[in-house]
Amino acid sequence: MENYYLGVDVGSVSTNVILIDEDNNLISKRYLRTQGKPIDILKEGIKNLKDEMGEFNVCGVGVTGSGRYLANLILGADIVKNEITCHGVASLSYLPNVRTVIEIGGQDSKIIILRDGIIVDFAMNTVCAAGTGSFLDRQAFRLGIDISQFGKLALKSTNSIRIAGRCAVFAESDMIHKQQLGHNQKDIIRGLCEALVRNYLNNVGKGKEIVGPVMFQGGVAANEGIKVAFEEALNTEIFIPPNFDVMGAIGAAMLAKEEVKKKGETTFKGLGIADMDYKVKGFECDGCSNLCEVIEINEDNRILARYGDRCGKWTNSLKKSNAKLA
Nearest CA-CA partner of 33 in 46, 9, 15: 15
Tell the smallest beta-carbon distance from residue 201 to another protein (Å): 15
* Interaction between residue 207 and another protein (CB under 8 A): yes
d(CA 314, CA 325): 17
Write a three-state SS string for 191-219.
Answer: HHHHHHHHHHHHHCCCCCCCCCCEEEECH
Beta strands in 125-201 (DSSP E): none
d(CA 141, CA 172): 12
DSSP state of 62: E
Tell the smallest beta-carbon distance from residue 209 to another protein (Å): 9
Residue nearer to another protein on the CB measure, 10 or 220: 10
Which phi and psi angles does 161 have, rounded to 5°? -115, 150
* Interaction between residue 176 and another protein (CB under 8 A): no
Residue nearer to another protein on the CB measure, 203 or 243: 203
d(CA 57, CA 187): 50
* Interaction between residue 83 and another protein (CB under 8 A): yes
* Interaction between residue 210 and another protein (CB under 8 A): no
- Give the interface segment with another protein, choosing from 78-86, 168-176, 191-199, 234-242 (CB under 8 A): 78-86
Site for another protein in 123-142 (CB under 8 A): 124, 126-127
Strand order in the sheet with 3-10: 26-33, 14-20, 3-10, 57-64, 79-80
* Interaction between residue 316 and another protein (CB under 8 A): yes
* Interaction between residue 108 and another protein (CB under 8 A): yes
Tell the smallest beta-carbon distance from residue 67 to another protein (Å): 8
Q: Are 248 and 16 in contact (CB under 8 A)?
A: yes
- Give the interface segment with another protein, choosing from 19-27, 174-182, 195-203, 304-312 (CB under 8 A): 304-312
Site string for another protein, 28-67 (x = CB under 8 A): --------------------------------------x-
Q: Are 49 and 34 in contact (CB under 8 A)?
A: no
Site for another protein in 220-279 (CB under 8 A): none
Residues that bind another protein (CB under 8 A): 66, 81-85, 108, 116, 118-122, 124, 126-127, 207, 288-291, 310-312, 316, 319
